[in-house]
Amino acid sequence: MTLNIDQLLTELTLEEKASLTSGSSFWYTAPVERLGIPRIMVSDGPHGLRAQPGEGDHVGLGGSLPATCFPTASAVASAWNPALLSRIGQALAQEARACNLSVILGPGINMKRSPLCGRNFEYFSEDPFLAGELAVGIVGGIQSRGVGTSVKHYAANNQETDRLRVDAQVDERTLREIYLPAFERVVKAEQPWTVMCSYNKVNGQSASENSWLLTTVLREEFGFEGLVVSDWGAVYHRVPALRAGLDLEMPPALGRSPEAVVAAVQAGEVKSEVLDARVRKVLELVAKGMPVLDLDESFDPEAHHALAREAAAESVVLLKNDGLLPLPVDASIAVIGEFARTPRFQGAGSSQVTPTRVDVLLDELRAVYGDVPFAAGYGVGETVDDEALLAEAERVAGSADTVVMTIGLPGADESEGFDRTHLDLPANQLAALRAVAAVNPNVVVVLVNGSTVVLGDVTVHAKALVEAWLGGQAAGGAIADVLTGAVNPSGRLAETIPHRLEDNSSYFNFPGDSQVVRYGEGIFIGYRGYDKASQEVAFPFGFGLSYTSFTLSDLTVTTRGSVAEGTFGAQVRVTVTNTGTVDGAEVVQVYVQDVDSTVARPVRELKGFAKVSLPAGSSESVSIELDQRAFAFWSVEQGRWAVEAGDFVIGVGANSRDLPLTETVTVEAPRLAVPLSRDSTLQEWMNDPTGRDLIEKEIANGQSAAAMDEELLGVIGNMPMSTLASFGGMSLDHDSLDRVAAAWREQVQVS
């Protein structure tokens, strides 16, 4: 059965239309039985389904049907592999089809502005390009199986503190370059069925009522054709939200919102065409989601568990390895750390999944190495009996050649709903690590955490250091696969690990106060901030080791097209060779730096990458395309993306701070004509060839050439011309300034 939407729009009553713009219950759209419009179900979430059998709740308090818990976003982002995300997406879609669920509420693609954000485990990266590519992978995978997605939370939802009220004050360039591109990329590439607007305000206006975000940018500029749904409870005023472009309110404010919509249409405050446009989007979504309602399908939990294990292993980032890993087949090991026995593998809140089963690292290692000794070493969330736990850990540590020790964040430390206040690991865990390392220097530390922690002397005590993140239900097996060498680690950091929280650029402005957070660091978040401030970091963005080694060679960069026509781009070619003795995968990363810029730009920005699997000893030539956007910045003055003429350095390497191959390309581009006026400064006029020429001529007609004196220019260059004209002294009075400004407008044809 299909819906004839044009016909339905003529048959629906005003009340029915209004009812369709809210759901009917927590997870369902509103049906109109009289006209054969069914309700469809939507549900979380990003790394596994949280389909609730009953009417449900949204913060994970109620149970949900068993589903495969795949690695959380921060984990799987470290795989730098959109194709892997596509496969996970297809599996998620199959699980959705099996419970007749039409739309999955994910992925979460907000930027990690601060490592403190409690929901960072649900987000991919501090880099918009990487987040966008990964979003394309998972959205494409899910939707290829006839199930919808909801990319969330649009926009500037980068903290949990006061998330329903906080006003994120972000300048437009920063929004355009950092906080919106992942949404833009996935909308243009995959047309997600829905976009979920966030709870917070953006520059004074709730996201749900922000017509600039929902209509101007999302629909008119990005070309979004799907439906905008509210985050659960993010509609504060239904009628303004409807006008701004919010199609569907979830969960419904029954008895309030539909009535308000009816009254507003009757009073002429909302045009009926506006309501029809919103209803059309709801009907289109229902039409797309309907086929899932009739399915009688199942999924293969074993196959999905195997995929979860593969994905978790590919998500692991090997941070340090002084020769301990991989463990030999006959290794004598002891296992220490409560997390090895009681796994922490996902975060809390709306994304929390009821797993189909859970792998336990200790069991997995015992399956390989026999009955290895174990000590908890520390308590999770409490410190009672630490002395006894420490003594036991020391004893066990001394009984084997190598210790595998898990440490990480307790579940209570990071979750939806609140932010962390520091990045430290629990003191009792660090004490246990020190005690263990004092007894046995051969310690492999496995980190279990949803978002970055500061490592301090962990890096000193660990001879090998493995970042395993929150790897989902199969993490235990996956970590064992990496430790034994069954899987050669190929994860790369999707977020920087700083030495100190204070080094992060959001430090002074996170999480704000008095319901306001100012994004004062602008575009310089994540590595863009650390690089700009020349901060040493513990492990840079893009970093990750392997059990083999790689070299990159033969870089060529071939440019094409023209900036003026919007067709400029470059092809980056490089040869990657596996120079070691085991098969492995390298992530070739391409960063772009604008050397000659008139605006502040990051030292480098990720603009391309490719994950390449290579048998030991083999080589492959890799080609990565850069489009014009890869060179552009958002020009506030022009209100558009702009590329400036001059040199750009293309850096290619293994992480953001290891770019051994570089090539400089010189880009030709039309001069960016900053509109000059009476109120532009003398310096701005002097920077513009036409402006300089006009001013010089005008002044030459008078008596003084003061404006051309470089020393004087330094002193008065920042003054608006209109002020200088008032001062007298220069030969440019108000009349001649008007003349010059008019001549400039005519010559550069700016209206």
Q: Which residues contact ligand BGC by CB under 6 A?
A: 44, 58, 105, 152, 231-232, 350
Q: Which distant-in-sequence residues (6+ apart) come within 8 Å of 391 by Cβ?
A: none
Q: How far is the CB of 295 from ligand BGC (least distance, A)?
A: 23
For residues 44 and 127, which CB has a smaller minimum distance to ligand BGC in the complex?
A: 44
Q: Which amino acid is at 323?
A: G
For residues 64 and 321, which CB has a smaller minimum distance to ligand BGC in the complex?
A: 64
Alpha carbons within 13 angstroms on the beta-carbon side of residue 67 total 33
Q: How far is the CB of 352 from ligand BGC (least distance, A)?
A: 10
Q: How far is the CB of 419 from ligand BGC (least distance, A)?
A: 14
Alpha carbons within 13 angstroms on the beta-carbon side of residue 239 total 15
Q: How far is the CB of 173 from ligand BGC (least distance, A)?
A: 27
Q: Which distant-in-sequence residues (6+ apart) come within 8 Å of 17 by Cβ?
A: 261, 275, 276, 279
Q: What angle do CA 153, 421, 491 make, to 5 degrees?
A: 60
Q: Which amino acid is at 96?
A: A
For residues 50 and 309, which CB has a smaller minimum distance to ligand BGC in the complex?
A: 50
Q: How far is the CB of 161 from ligand BGC (least distance, A)?
A: 14
Run of H or E including 289: helix 272-293
**Nearest CA to 114 among 148, 144, 151, 156?**
156
194 vs 591: CA distance, rounded Å: 31
Buried/exposed 368-386: b ≥16 CB within 10 Å, e otherwise: bbeebbbbbbbbbeeeeeb
For residues 348 and 654, which CB has a smaller minimum distance to ligand BGC in the complex?
A: 348
Q: What angle do CA 109, 353, 414 make, to 5 degrees?
A: 60
Looking at residue 611, the DSSP 8-state letter turns out to be E
**What phi and psi values does residue 667 have, to the nearest 5 degrees?**
-100, 130
Give yes or no for a contact between 315 and 75, defined as CB atoms under 8 angstroms apart: yes
For residues 349 and 377, which CB has a smaller minimum distance to ligand BGC in the complex?
A: 349
From the list 231, 247, 386, 481, the catalytic residue is: 231
231 is an active site residue: yes
For residues 350 and 680, which CB has a smaller minimum distance to ligand BGC in the complex?
A: 350
Q: How far is the CB of 149 from ligand BGC (least distance, A)?
A: 11
For residues 44 and 386, which CB has a smaller minimum distance to ligand BGC in the complex?
A: 44
| Strands across the sheet containing 201-202 | 205-206, 201-202, 167-169, 516-518
513 vs 499: CA distance, rounded Å: 26
Helix (H) and strand (E) counts for the chain?
A: 24, 30
The dihedral through the CA atoms of 375, 380, 384, 390 has a sign that is: positive
DSSP readout, 571-591? Answer: EEEEEEEE-SSS-EEEEEEEE
Q: How far is the CB of 45 from ligand BGC (least distance, A)?
A: 6
Q: Look up tokens 């040199």; give the residue.
A: 647
For residues 231 and 586, which CB has a smaller minimum distance to ligand BGC in the complex?
A: 231
Q: How far is the CB of 597 from ligand BGC (least distance, A)?
A: 37
Q: Which residues are catalytic?
A: 231
